[in-house]
Structure 1
Amino acid sequence: MVGEDHAPVSARHVNVDSQDTALFIAVRSPQGPRMIFSAMRLYGRVKPAETVWYIDDSEIVLSLKKTDDDVKWPSLEEAWASLTEGVSQLLKGTSVYVVGGSTDINWAVAKELAAGLEYVPLQTQQLIQDYINKSPVELAAEEGDKSVTETESAILDSLSSHVRCVVSTLGGSPGVGAQLGNWRSLHAGFTVWINQTTATDEETAEQEAARAKQDGSKAYAQADVVVALGGWDENSARPAAEGALRALKAFLEGDKELPGKKSMYVRLGCRGDWPDIMPPGWNPLSGKEEAKSTAYY
């Protein structure tokens, strides 16, 4: 192997810096070190101590050891294309629901996710309009917020058995996502909370969301994953969607049985017993199991 100045390059000229989630390769030359490869974010975690490399006639050959051999890497680096492909495989067709305080932001993120995952984008705001020929605002003015909640809940019930959809929900009250006891149908898929925060750094935003999930102070804290938004403009949808994909990837890799569990929850009728799914005879009203002759497969 030779460098740019045609001088021979040996192992002593090469520096391979393998980290848990990053990889850097530099070559030393009389002009100083030159970075020839840089991956700030690998698709998954590796074992740095087990990184093996050598130089053949024309290139540096590298072997990385993944910490989880069962996780398929669409590519070496974690980027939009690899995330959409990898998360789509992990979801196994399970739908995604986007919740949060802004209807418009939820929809913008949902459209980006749907395009990347090759899912169908759906918006409950538009579905309400199609269903009753009134917008949620008009319905609230005529019949009150409760009617909006009930209508969106009915639509989400009807969508619960759908697969390969990204569903954008109404933002804030009276949307179903903002109601603590109204998540029965949302649990049919994986939920993403778009959390608009005033935190000035990522760590504080994560702590804020973690506290909300721990104390149950917000209905949105029931979501499977959280994306913190410090601000919003017309270019924010893709980064927010990419953050959602990263969060979903980590969540699904943590328990690869979750899509199957979601499927079981739907088949049993989305009774509100997520994540502790009760036996088929369980009555959500009484909290007791009742004998039934129905067979579940």
Structure 2
Amino acid sequence: MLGKFTDGGGEVELRLDIGKLGIENSRDVFVDVDDTSLLVRAKSDGTLRTLINVKQLFDRIKSSETIWFIDEDQLVVNLKKVEQELKWPDIDESWESLTSGITQLLTGISVHIVGDSTDINEAVAKEIAEGIGYLPVCTSELLESATEKSIDKWLASEGVDSVAEAECVVLESLSSHVRTVVATLGGKQGAASRFDKWQYLHAGFTMKLSAKEEARRSVSSGNVAYAKADVVVKLGGWDPEYTRAVAQGCLVALKQLTLADKKLAGEVSIIQLAS
């Protein structure tokens, strides 16, 4: 269904072209809306057709204040936003709208990705950075470049404590940077796994990626450092093919956190992603 979407500040408007459907009056149109979704159907030639079905609006609306009407060959749906200052790039919460809209909430603040897997942290960080136009930074690459040896060789020769201390120094140097997405080391060699190494991670938003098996290992090992994360994104599993989906879940969580932070500072947002 072709249409036009506009953000008018305190409200958004959706115009759907219905000229070819033969809809004669408003009684043939059915608009079902709640605070986060929109379903528009119309009866045409005796058949009930779905014109648009948005299961997740870009943000919450005041559903009781929804207005709709027919304007010549267009169906106009007017939605009142809850967060009036938040600009909607589009009607739905898609990857494109999230990557376009999240920067107004981040205001240049950097994002740190932590978790038990370095590979997952780096894959998701790079996907997010590319999407929102931030600089991707991997602490593993900086450490290996500075020492001219791999993390594995470093671990074998000097142990996990040495690597964690070095990463903390790197995070300190990055703490003054803006518009970066930083992928940290996973596991015990990562500074994020140490309760006393979080002072520089707090320079930005910190997101913990947690696969089911990794969450069980963290609990069994008594690791509570990750509890300091601003956002926890729980993964049903991991496959590089779904990096974009995980990155999108992270942006959803970041959006929820930054909007909620106006009222509930410091509250942790938890997003569960299905496997």
TM-score by length of 2: 0.84
- Aligned CA distance change for structure 1 residues 31 and 119 (closer, same or farther; 3 Å): same
Partner SS state of residue 196, structure 2: coil
2:146 to 131, 144, 156: 131
- Aligned CA distance change for structure 1 residues 114 and 98 (closer, same or farther; 3 Å): same
2:69 counterpart of 1:54: yes
- Aligned CA distance change for structure 1 residues 72 and 109 (closer, same or farther; 3 Å): same
2: CA distance, partners of 1:226 / 1:67: 25
Please list, as runs of the form range in 1=range in 2, the aligned pairs for 1:143-292 lying within 5 A after superposition: 143-197=158-212, 218-256=224-262
1: CA distance, partners of 2:97 / 2:18: 32
- Aligned CA distance change for structure 1 residues 257 and 40 (closer, same or farther; 3 Å): closer
Give the superposition deviation at 1:81.
Answer: 1.3
Q: Which string of whole-angstrom CA distances, capped at 9 and with x for unpartnered residues, describes residues 15-54 of structure 1?
A: 0011111101100134421001111110010111100011
Detail structure 1 runs of 4+ shifted over 3 Å in the superposition. 1-4
2:120 counterpart of 1:110: no
Partner SS state of residue 152, structure 2: helix
1: CA distance, partners of 2:106 / 2:204: 9
Please list, as runs of the form range in 1=range in 2, the aligned pairs for 1:69-84 lying within 5 A after superposition: 69-84=84-99
Q: Which consecutive residues of structure 1, in runs of 5 or more, have no partner in the other structure?
A: 200-204, 262-273, 276-297
- Aligned CA distance change for structure 1 residues 194 and 55 (closer, same or farther; 3 Å): same
- Aligned CA distance change for structure 1 residues 159 and 60 (closer, same or farther; 3 Å): same
TM-score by length of 1: 0.78
Larger Rg computed on CA atoms: 1
Q: Which amino acid in the other structure matches residue 190 of structure 2?
A: G
Give the superposition deviation at 1:62.
Answer: 1.2
Give the superposition deviation at 1:181.
Answer: 1.6
Q: Which consecutive residues of structure 2, in runs of 5 or more, have no partner in the other structure?
A: 1-16, 268-275
Partner SS state of residue 158, structure 1: helix
2:101 counterpart of 1:95: no
Give the superposition deviation at 1:257.
Answer: 9.7
User: Is the Cα contact below 8 Å between 1:71 and 1:253 reproduced in 2?
Assistant: no
2: CA distance, partners of 1:125 / 1:217: 21
Q: Which string of whole-angstrom CA distances, capped at 9 and with x for unpartnered residues, describes residues 48-104 of structure 1?
A: 110001112101111111112122212111111111121111111111000001000
Give the superposition deviation at 1:239.
Answer: 0.6
- Aligned CA distance change for structure 1 residues 218 and 9 (closer, same or farther; 3 Å): farther
Specify the alignment match of 1:293 in structure 2.
none
Q: Which amino acid in the other structure matches residue 229 of structure 2?
A: A
User: Is the Cα contact below 8 Å between 1:198 and 1:230 reproduced in 2?
Assistant: no
Identity %: 45
User: Is the Cα contact below 8 Å between 1:16 and 1:26 reproduced in 2?
Assistant: yes
- What CA RMSD, in Å, does the superposition of the two structures yield over aligned residues? 2.4
- Aligned CA distance change for structure 1 residues 88 and 257 (closer, same or farther; 3 Å): farther
Partner SS state of residue 184, structure 1: coil
2:134 counterpart of 1:119: yes
2: CA distance, partners of 1:33 / 1:120: 48
Partner SS state of residue 206, structure 2: strand
Partner SS state of residue 74, structure 1: coil
Give the superposition deviation at 1:217.
Answer: 5.3
1: CA distance, partners of 2:23 / 2:107: 49
Specify the alignment match of 2:14 in structure 1.
none
Give the superposition deviation at 1:106.
Answer: 0.3
Equivalenced residue count is 247
User: Is the Cα contact below 8 Å between 1:90 and 1:256 reproduced in 2?
Assistant: no
